[in-house]
């Protein structure tokens, strides 16, 4: 035990600092709703400032500490609060990129000022170099002081957070800042205080840790991941558990360092532990505890897409110019080759980030895995160059699919954390192993093919592969998979409710993206002939650079990849010390700017109007309902047959009974209405019926079959379609593509081959097209077919959602407030559409609506609920005449305009 005590004590010291940094991260996240990836960068700035004041200029350490911790923490806290105020409503990806941009800026500035080599900081604490004896072990006074400072600071923060009025406001402001304001507290002032506290704790962590680990910008910046690992122990909410988590991480990592001394292949395990713990914690923590802070996020910005003819001309021009590169860039050709491999990497990242809306911070790890696998195959197995490239990239596919497992249960922020942890763990744990790059610094031989060994021949080979990759990505983007991925990005609830299995498509897109990332890593390695673990292009930090480069790229798919060329080519023409760092500084600043403005700037209107002149759009025509062909749909069932039956359904959220014992029957061939006051539980019941919310008790039957155990997508494929109270459309897709989604999502289903449209049933495309055109005409929106859904008014969005539902192969339709936002003429048309659909398809419709005139005209039977409980059921006339319904919902004057009921059925009241 005595031999372990030094390691335990060292682990307690570093773990206490991890817990301190994690506590600061928790408090800023819980009050602002923004997860600050630059938290470690704050620690690096403070440590470098302290070093510069104390060790370079001889400022007394207490003064240097005061300037580097509380003063700098306050200044950075105010700045970050101002930045956070502007990006809090941005999409999560932009929030991440904005904070990652700060990391790049700090790393670049630190390297430019102090150089790339690690610096040693002397111990500054009083008596810090002295030791005392404890159980036969020498313990440094600096270790004791650092531990005490960290533990006391965490305890004081917890007391402040739980006992003070400001602490209570900090816990409340992220959930409802308006309510906090009503109680006389300025929410911005509360957030500013939280940012100052968080930044001060991060600064203290950096200054306390620097004498123990040295000054190195990337290492200190990655302190944030260790802090996140500690925060994961506390579920990203609890400060005491975060502090305990930091101590556990520190102690276990120190003990692993002791136990792995004689096991060389595990030498990277201690330093990788925080990242492994973070990855495991994200996988096992219940999803309800990983709910991201609730903030209203901006709508998708609809960008101009150039007509196909314009893109074809531009592609020919770009490829032609690149084909001439060996003539005008003889000495710089190696940089052009690097640029082509970077284009492939950006295409890979674009498929995942821009098309599917997921965030990856581990693509450099995919590149590294592909590179050393290729080297093993071609140098030791003796396989040919082309098969080795293919196999090397294919090996990355199952790895990327494994990384996709967190994507099945995580989105946005926590998925980004999981991929970052994976990338760092691979770099530190796998790269040094003998079968990978090894730790001798020599790396892996990456030979070129014998038939393309010269720079010029290999350049044209790379150009051919890059063009083929770009064409493939363009076809993916314009095909079924691209539409499904954009649906997954912009409206995952809708595509799931239309029948798409989102888990399988997430694995598919990660696998495809990983394949091309591995291909990029292989081709880059063969460009420079060797691949080593110290090459910046295979490091986890490069994944951050790639993400920033990609997000600030101003063009759409696949044109954003061109932005990779100048990144690789500029160093060949702009000579100067630290050019790479200046570029990273520039990229970081642009990333922050793009995050603040809500994304890369769209094309100027004059230019987009010019492009529109070359586009051809089919003109919609005005038709009457009688002109339309029969609506293609599911095979008709006899009138009165079982449709949707809900029996004693209950949905509880903790102590709240949102739905409490509701029974409803919506048979085929009938429009059944569900009405009640706001908050009565109508939409919750819809969500429970469609599988988006788990019911507590009760049964949901579709055509007599219990579907309570089926997922939302399986219920949709069984014939249950729906619209939403808040419209769920894919803003970047056209109206036609959105409507087609109603039929196409179910056709894509769970099978990756169907999702890629590789395996399509005979006549499927014509059926999808016919159903789409019929639904467009039926709802009177054919003239809007080529308009991006993001440009529609509220009423138009409602009609598109109804059309999407009608285009699907559904025979039971649940429509949630479909007439909301429609004018009188549109409401009349919608009523006629629903009547015709019921007549021709003999389908069942369950309708939630607040427009009582619309309800009384279109519904055959009504159910009324209030506070989640059944209140009344009967015909429209009976409902209108019921005193119970009038008292709870309609008002006493409503029945004056309707005939009196002869009979009625009341539940829980009297008519």
Q: What secondary structure does DSSP assign to 725-772, as a single string?
A: SS----TTSBHHHHHHHHHHHHHHTT-HHHHTTSS--TTHHHHHHHHH
* Of 550, 407, 402, 558, the residue nearest 489 (C-alpha): 407
Query: Chain-centre distance of CA 896, in angstroms?
Result: 53
Neighbours of 363 (CB within 10 A): 30
pLDDT at 905 over 60: no
pLDDT at 639 over 70: no
The two three-digit tokens of residue 788, written as one number: 């991006």
The two three-digit tokens of residue 853, written as one number: 């005139």
Helix%, strand%, coil% for the chain, nearest 5: 60, 10, 30
pLDDT at 43 over 70: yes
Q: How confident is the model at residue 622, as a pLDDT?
A: 40
**CB contact set of 593 (below 8 Å; sequence gap of 6+):** none
Q: How confident is the model at residue 551, as a pLDDT?
A: 81
- Report the C-alpha gap between 605 and 607 in whole angstroms: 5
Label residue 535 by pLDDT band (50, 70, 90). confident
Let me know if 55 is exposed, middle or buried by CB neighbors in 10 A (0-12, 13-18, 19+). middle
Q: Order of strands, edge to edge, in the sheet holding 720-722?
A: 720-722, 812-816, 844-848, 671-675, 861-866, 869-874, 905-906
* Of 44, 26, 43, the residue nearest 35 (C-alpha): 26
Label residue 604 by pLDDT band (50, 70, 90). low
The two three-digit tokens of residue 837, written as one number: 């659909």
Are 502 and 492 in contact, with CB atoms under 8 Å apart?
yes
Task: Look up residue 38 and give its DSSP letter.
Answer: T
Q: How confident is the model at residue 308, as a pLDDT?
A: 67
* Of 28, 34, 29, 65, the residue nearest 49 (C-alpha): 65
Average pLDDT rounded to a whole number, residues 781-794? 87
| Secondary structure of residue 850 in the 3-state scheme | coil
Q: How confident is the model at residue 552, as a pLDDT?
A: 81
Q: Where are the domains of the chain?
A: 5-260, 355-447+484-552, 625-906
Q: Does domain 625-906 have CATH number 1.10.20.10?
A: no
706 strand-pairing partners:
701
Are 189 and 183 in contact, with CB atoms under 8 Å apart?
no
Task: Look up residue 298 and give its DSSP letter.
Answer: P
Average pLDDT rounded to a whole number, residues 335-363? 90
**CB contact set of 834 (below 8 Å; sequence gap of 6+):** 671, 815, 845, 847, 858
pLDDT digits (tens, 9 = 90+) for 282-293: 777 766 666 554
pLDDT digits (tens, 9 = 90+) for 310-339: 778 888 988 999 899 888 887 788 999 999
The residue behind tokens 């309510």 is 179
Are 689 and 651 in contact, with CB atoms under 8 Å apart?
no
Query: Cα-flanking dihedrals φ and ψ of residue 723, to 5°?
Result: -115, 180
Are 161 and 171 in contact, with CB atoms under 8 Å apart?
yes
Average pLDDT, the chain: 83
Label residue 903 by pLDDT band (50, 70, 90). very low
Q: How confident is the model at residue 628, as a pLDDT?
A: 39
pLDDT at 640 over 90: no
Are 312 and 320 in contact, with CB atoms under 8 Å apart?
no
Are 510 and 328 in contact, with CB atoms under 8 Å apart?
no
pLDDT digits (tens, 9 = 90+) for 688-712: 999 989 988 999 999 989 998 899 9
Distances (CA, A) of 315 to 238, 239, 578, 751: 53, 54, 34, 33
Q: How many CA atoms lie within 13 A of 447 on its CB side?
A: 15
The two three-digit tokens of residue 337, written as one number: 């080759």
pLDDT at 889 over 90: no
Average pLDDT rounded to a whole number, residues 416-435? 87
Cis preceding linkage at 558, omega within 30: yes
| Secondary structure of residue 491 in the 3-state scheme | coil
Are 221 and 44 in contact, with CB atoms under 8 Å apart?
yes
The maximal CA–CA distance of the chain, rounded, in angstroms, is 96
pLDDT digits (tens, 9 = 90+) for 379-404: 888 888 999 999 999 999 999 998 88
- Report the C-alpha gap between 370 and 521 in whole angstroms: 6
Q: How confident is the model at residue 468, as a pLDDT?
A: 95
* Of 403, 646, 640, 418, the residue nearest 511 (C-alpha): 403
The CATH fold assigned to 5-260 is ABC transporter involved in vitamin B12 uptake, BtuC (1.10.3470)
pLDDT at 369 over 90: yes
pLDDT digits (tens, 9 = 90+) for 726-743: 888 988 889 999 999 998
The two three-digit tokens of residue 10, written as one number: 């060292």
Query: Chain-centre distance of CA 835, in angstroms?
Result: 40
For the stretch 323-330, contacts whose Cβ atoms lie closer than 8 Å and that sit 24 or more positions apart, written own/partner, are 323/460, 323/463, 325/459, 326/455, 326/456, 326/459, 326/460, 329/572
Label residue 614 by pLDDT band (50, 70, 90). low
The two three-digit tokens of residue 446, written as one number: 């990456």
| Secondary structure of residue 795 in the 3-state scheme | helix
* Of 547, 624, 148, 135, the residue nearest 346 (C-alpha): 547
132 strand-pairing partners:
139
Let me know if 708 is exposed, middle or buried by CB neighbors in 10 A (0-12, 13-18, 19+). middle
Q: How confident is the model at residue 631, as a pLDDT?
A: 41
530 strand-pairing partners:
445
* Of 774, 796, 780, the residue nearest 622 (C-alpha): 780
Higher-confidence position of 799 and 414: 799
Average pLDDT rounded to a whole number, residues 581-587? 86
Degrees (nearest 5) of the Cα angle 577, 582, 587? 155
Q: Order of strands, edge to edge, in the sheet holding 644-653?
A: 656-666, 644-653, 697-702, 705-706
Highest mean pLDDT pick, 73-77, 284-288, 429-433, 576-580: 73-77
Are 243 and 19 in contact, with CB atoms under 8 Å apart?
yes
Q: H-helix or E-strand containing 663? A: strand 656-666
Are 661 and 648 in contact, with CB atoms under 8 Å apart?
yes
Q: Do domains 5-260 and 625-906 have the same CATH topology?
A: no
State in Å, rounded, how far the first CA of the chain is from the last one: 80
């Amino acid at each position: 035990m005595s031999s372990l005590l030094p390691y335990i004590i060292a682990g307690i010291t570093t773990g206490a600092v991890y817990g301190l940094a994690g506590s600061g991260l928790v408090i800023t996240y819980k009050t602002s709703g923004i997860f600050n990836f630059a938290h470690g960068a704050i620690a690096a700035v403070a440590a470098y400032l302290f070093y510069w004041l104390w060790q370079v200029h001889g400022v007394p350490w207490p003064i240097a500490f005061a300037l580097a911790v509380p003063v700098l923490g306050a200044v950075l806290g105010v700045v970050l609060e101002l930045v956070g105020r502007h990006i809090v409503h941005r999409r999560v990806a932009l929030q991440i990129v904005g904070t990652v941009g700060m990391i790049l800026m700090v790393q670049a500035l630190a390297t430019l000022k102090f150089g790339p080599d690690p610096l040693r900081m002397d111990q500054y604490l009083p008596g810090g170099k002295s030791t005392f004896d404890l159980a036969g072990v020498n313990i440094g006074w600096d270790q004791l002081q650092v531990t005490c400072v960290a533990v006391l600071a965490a305890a004081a923060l917890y007391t402040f957070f739980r006992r003070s009025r400001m602490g209570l406001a900090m816990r409340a402001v992220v959930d409802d800042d308006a309510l906090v304001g009503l109680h006389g507290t300025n929410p911005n002032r509360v957030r500013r205080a939280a940012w100052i506290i968080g930044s001060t704790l991060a600064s203290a962590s950096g200054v306390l840790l620097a004498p123990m680990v040295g000054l190195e910008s990337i290492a200190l910046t990655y302190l944030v991941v260790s802090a996140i690992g500690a925060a994961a122990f506390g579920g990203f909410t609890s400060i005491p558990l975060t502090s305990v988590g930091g101590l556990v991480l520190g102690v276990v990592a120190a003990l692993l360092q002791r136990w792995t001394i004689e096991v060389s292949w595990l030498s990277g395990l201690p330093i990788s532990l925080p990242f492994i713990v973070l990855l495991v914690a994200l996988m096992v923590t219940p999803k309800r505890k990983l709910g991201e802070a609730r903030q209203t996020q901006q709508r998708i910005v609809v960008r101009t897409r150039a007509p196909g003819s314009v893109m074809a001309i531009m592609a020919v021009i770009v490829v032609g110019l690149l084909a001439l590169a060996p003539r005008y860039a003889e000495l710089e050709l190696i940089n052009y080759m690097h640029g082509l491999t970077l284009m492939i990497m950006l295409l890979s990242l674009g498929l995942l980030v821009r098309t599917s809306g997921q965030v990856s911070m581990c693509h450099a790890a995919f590149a590294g895995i592909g590179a050393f696998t290729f080297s093993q195959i071609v140098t030791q197995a003796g396989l040919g160059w082309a098969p080795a490239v293919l196999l090397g990239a294919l090996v990355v596919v199952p790895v990327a699919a494994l990384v996709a497992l967190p994507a099945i249960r995580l989105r946005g922020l926590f998925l980004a954390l999981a991929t970052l942890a994976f990338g760092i763990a691979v770099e530190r744990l796998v790269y040094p192993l003998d079968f990978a790059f090894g730790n001798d610094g020599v790396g892996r031989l990456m030979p070129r093919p014998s038939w393309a060994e010269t720079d010029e021949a290999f350049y044209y080979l790379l150009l051919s592969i890059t063009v083929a990759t770009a064409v493939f990505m363009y076809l993916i983007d314009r095909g079924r998979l691209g539409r499904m991925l954009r649906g997954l990005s912009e409206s995952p609830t809708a595509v799931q409710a239309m029948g798409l299995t989102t888990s399988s498509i997430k694995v598919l897109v990660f696998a495809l993206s990983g394949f091309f990332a591995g291909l990029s890593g292989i081709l880059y390695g063969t460009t420079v002939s060797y691949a080593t673990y110290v090459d910046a292009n295979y490091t986890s930090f490069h994944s951050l650079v790639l993400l920033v480069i990609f997000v600030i790229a101003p063009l759409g798919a696949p044109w954003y990849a061109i932005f990779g060329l100048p990144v690789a080519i500029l160093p060949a023409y702009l000579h100067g010390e630290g050019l790479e760092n200046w570029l990273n500084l520039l990229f970081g600043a642009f990333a922050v700017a793009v995050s603040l403005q809500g994304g890369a700037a769209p094309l100027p209107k004059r230019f987009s109007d010019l492009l529109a002149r070359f586009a051809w759009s089919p003109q919609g025509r005005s038709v009457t309902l009688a002109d339309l062909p029969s609506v293609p749909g599911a095979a008709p069932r006899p009138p009165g047959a079982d449709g949707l039956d809900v029996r004693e359904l209950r949905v509880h959220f903790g102590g709240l009974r949102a739905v409490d014992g509701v029974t409803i029957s919506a048979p085929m061939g009938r429009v059944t209405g569900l009405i009640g006051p706001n908050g009565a539980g109508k939409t919750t019941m819809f969500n429970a019926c469609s599988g988006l919310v788990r019911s507590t008790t009760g049964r949901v039957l579709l055509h007599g079959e219990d579907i309570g155990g089926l997922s939302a997508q399986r219920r949709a494929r069984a014939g249950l379609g729906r619209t939403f109270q808040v419209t769920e459309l894919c803003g970047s897709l056209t109206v036609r593509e959105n409507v087609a989604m109603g039929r196409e999502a179910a056709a894509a289903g769970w099978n990756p081959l169907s999702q890629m449209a590789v395996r399509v049933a005979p006549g499927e495309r014509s059926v999808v097209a016919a159903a789409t055109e019929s639904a467009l005409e039926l709802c009177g929106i054919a003239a809007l077919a080529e308009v991006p859904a993001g440009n529609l008014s509220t009423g138009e969005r409602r009609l598109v959602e109804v059309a999407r539902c009608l285009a699907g192969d559904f025979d039971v339709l649940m429509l949630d407030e479909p007439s909301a936002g429609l004018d009188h003429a549109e409401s009349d048309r919608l009523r006629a559409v629903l009547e015709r659909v019921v007549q021709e398809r003999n389908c069942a419709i369950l309708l939630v609506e607040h427009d009582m005139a619309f309800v009384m005209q279109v519904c055959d039977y009504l159910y009324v609920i209030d506070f989640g409980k059944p209140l009344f059921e009967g015909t429209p006339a009976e409902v209108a005449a019921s005193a119970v319904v009038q008292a709870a919902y309609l008002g006493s004057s409503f029945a004056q305009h309707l005939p009196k009921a002869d009979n009625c059925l009341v539940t829980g009241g009297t008519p």
